[in-house]
Amino acid sequence: MKGKYFFTSESVSEGHPDKLCDQISDAVLDAAFKDDPHARVAIECLAKTGFVVVAGEMTTRTYIDIQKVARDTIKAAGYDKPEYGFDGNTCGVLVSISEQSSDISQGVSEGDGLHKEQGAGDQGLMFGYASNETPELMPLPITLAHKLLLEIKEIRKAGTLPYLCPDAKSQVTIEYEDGVPKRADAIVISTQHLPSAEHATIRNDMIEKVIKPICGKWIDENTKFFVNPTGNFVLGGPVADAGVTGRKIIVDTYGGHGGHGGGAFSGKDPSKVDRSAAYAARYIAKNIVGAGLADKCEVQLAYAIGVSEPVSILTHCFGTNKIPEDKISELVRKHFPLKPADIISQLNLRRPIYRKTATYGHFGRDDPDFTWEKLDKVEALKQDAGPLGQPERTGADVPLDGM
């Protein structure tokens, strides 16, 4: 995009009611995968004052204590005291789970359905995105938004600011010029707190202990800070707002950069392409940008239920590509897994790794379990791409102080 413009992304903490539900859903998936890596899981969660509902479909050979999984997850997110309004020790846990539909099962079981290869667990379209404006090859606004809340989490768990409670949100507005980030225009932090904390204290602590250390030189004299902008945030979590699995899909991905197919990730085993193909699309886009074939890349994969080959593959580089986009598409088909079974195998997705994906983004994380973040295709892509065009100056040339 040419000229000056502003782009905003948000994040929410593990104590946010929607993220609490995402974590419970993925904790159930992890519990199944711990003993049964071929379990079929599609779990949703609802949380409101005093109770959670865990519902969905699951076929597995192992036993899962859903009540314990839910309570442990709630307490780990910080809701372990009555004064927070929601307590994993005492809340009700209602469970309604049935077996996976046999019609769906035959479509994702090799040799059972109309097509003999393992097919997609549902129809749908998934997107992956990468940009060289940060070392993580992620958009800057969502990267900063996540890191602000990760810093608040560390401070809260260390007890440094004892008034902090589990629920929190952040929002970052970055000023761009010709597609390159230049400065932070506005930063918003809303953090739940005990009634005894004064607004002036919270504002000063968030600016000095969180915003400035994380955002560094992106801040200038015109950057606007909004801390608990209503003046009070005592009532939070599921008491203040019902939580539901899958309502923070933009927080989970790229903060609004790139497209989104609409499917949520949490609570779904990787036979569901909503999850596995979105991870594959990120893997593809990141390696394309990492190889220098483009400064930005969006990948779309689309599937029909029960069919192994994607019905369409699209790579779009927003005019930043150094070789023709049709050549990039050829390289994608040559070097990357695209069938559901191949994606699951190459990215090693049948493992209990998902609860930690449910907070602070599924992408841009430095964790060896996040196999879709590997840059292991870069050299092969460079070799097959041939000579590249001369890249222009990008956000990777901008100092990332505070990152």
Cite the active site residues: 16, 18-19, 44, 57, 169, 233, 241-242, 247-248, 268, 272, 274
d(CA 50, CA 392): 55
Phi-psi region of 143 (alpha: psi -120 to 50; beta: other; left: phi over 0): alpha
Residue listed under structure tokens 């667990």: 121
d(CA 99, CA 83): 38
Spatial neighbors of 3 by CB under 8 A, at least 6 apart, are: 177, 178
Structure tokens at 188: 């918003």
Spatial neighbors of 183 by CB under 8 A, at least 6 apart, are: 174, 175, 218, 219, 220, 222, 223
What spatial distance separates the first Cα and last Cα of the chain, rounded to whole Å?
24
Helices (H) and strands (E) in the chain, counts: 12, 11
The answer to whether 206 and 178 are in contact (CB under 8 A) is no
Residue 22, Cβ neighbours under 10 Å: how many?
34
Residue 152 main-chain phi, psi, to 5 deg: -60, -40
Scanning 98-245, the segments in alpha helix (DSSP H) are: 102-108, 140-158, 199-206, 212-215, 237-240
